[in-house]
Structure 1
Amino acid sequence: MRQYLSFAIAAIAAFIAMENVARAEEPAFLSVGAGIYDVNDSETTAEGRLEYRFSEANKLWHFSPFVGLMATAEGGTYGYGGVGFDIFFDDRWVLTPNFAVGLYGNGDGKDLGHAVEFRSGVELSYRFDDRSRLGLTFHHISNAGLDEQNPGTESVLLVYSIPFDKLFSD
């Protein structure tokens, strides 16, 4: 597990060193996702996700905070908060590494060993003219050794992010 943490820290440091920040201040987003939970194991099921991503104006250093809720078809839930970092390859393609911590309940699904779970992942999105984004995201969730049982799980989702202010405009 330490090698994964060291890799994650090195990757984040490299992203920060690139200083490739948004070309224009990004708005707050409401993100909705659907996909596959536990994609690499035997308890595969559907997953849905709802996330609020704060605007660039609310950045913590280079990181934009977010909060969210994930639910599986088996009744698993995960409420979380974390930070992400947008890396723009051009005006359209955005890579967003992110990290979160939250509370997990397995419902009738996979037992991840602890209520406190950590999520790390990456999202690759296409950015439209109105700044909305359509992307594919991959996440790993585990308790990072807080419990002897630490099976972890991976998710792959299709995510649509719409600027929050567009939800209320005419």
Structure 2
Amino acid sequence: MRKFLKVAVAAMSVIVASGSSLRAEEPAFLSLGAGVYDLLDNETTAEVRVEYRFSEDHKLWLFTPFVGLMATAEGATYGYGGIGVDIFFGKRWVLTPNFAVGLYGNGDGKDLGHPVEFRSGLELAYRFEDYSRLGLTFHHISNASLDDQNPGTESLMLMYSIPFDKVFSN
């Protein structure tokens, strides 16, 4: 986890130093995902996710806010809000380090020790001509030692992000 955090901090430093050269006029997105929850431990199960990612107009400095909901096949749920930064490699590839905080309920699934959980991760996506994206995302969820029990969990997801204005258009 520490190695991941060092990479994330280094990426954020590059973004801050680069300023607006990494920005793009991106729309709001509805992002849908499916994948594997608790990938690196013994309670592996299916996960689905839905997120709303705000548009360029709602940026907080370099950061794009988002809100979302995750659920597992074992009944765990996680509602969260956070920020991410799009780093473009050419016109098509987008790397998005992101961070969120939210409320977790374990249902019949993995007990993460506390209702307040923090999520950090990366998404690497291919950006299509219509601005939609298809990518892989990896996240770690942990309560950051708010409780004595802090097992954490990892997810690997396939995400599809469609510009929100196209969701209801003909």
Question: Per the shorter chain, which TM-score range?
Answer: over 0.9
- The alignment yields a C-alpha RMSD, in angstroms, of 1.6
| TM-score (norm: length of structure 1) | 0.94
**Alpha-carbon spacing, 1:2–1:137, altered in 2? closer, same or farther (3 Å):** closer
CA distance in 1, matches of 2:22, 2:83: 15
Q: Does 1:94 align with 2:90?
A: no
CA distance in 2, matches of 1:93, 1:4: 20
| TM-score (norm: length of structure 2) | 0.94
Amino acid in the other structure paired with 2:73? A
Q: Does 1:73 align with 2:73?
A: yes
Equivalent residue runs for 1:17-32 within 5 Å: 17-19=17-19, 20-23=21-24, 25-32=25-32
Mind listing any 5+ residue stretches in structure 2 that lack a counterpart? none
Mind listing any 5+ residue stretches in structure 1 that lack a counterpart? none
CA distance in 1, matches of 2:10, 2:149: 27
Residue 5 of structure 1 deviates from its aligned partner by: 5.2
Residue 17 of structure 1 deviates from its aligned partner by: 1.8
Q: Deviations over 1:74-113 (max 9, x none)?
A: 0000000000000000110000000000000000010001
Q: Deviations over 1:21-65 (max 9, x none)?
A: 233x10000000000000000000000000000001100000000
Amino acid in the other structure paired with 1:105? G
Match of 1:114?
114
**Alpha-carbon spacing, 1:34–1:4, altered in 2? closer, same or farther (3 Å):** closer
Identity across the alignment (%): 74
Amino acid in the other structure paired with 2:66? F
Q: Does 1:131 align with 2:102?
A: no
Match of 1:46?
46
Amino acid in the other structure paired with 2:146? L
Residue 11 of structure 1 deviates from its aligned partner by: 3.5
Aligned residues: 169
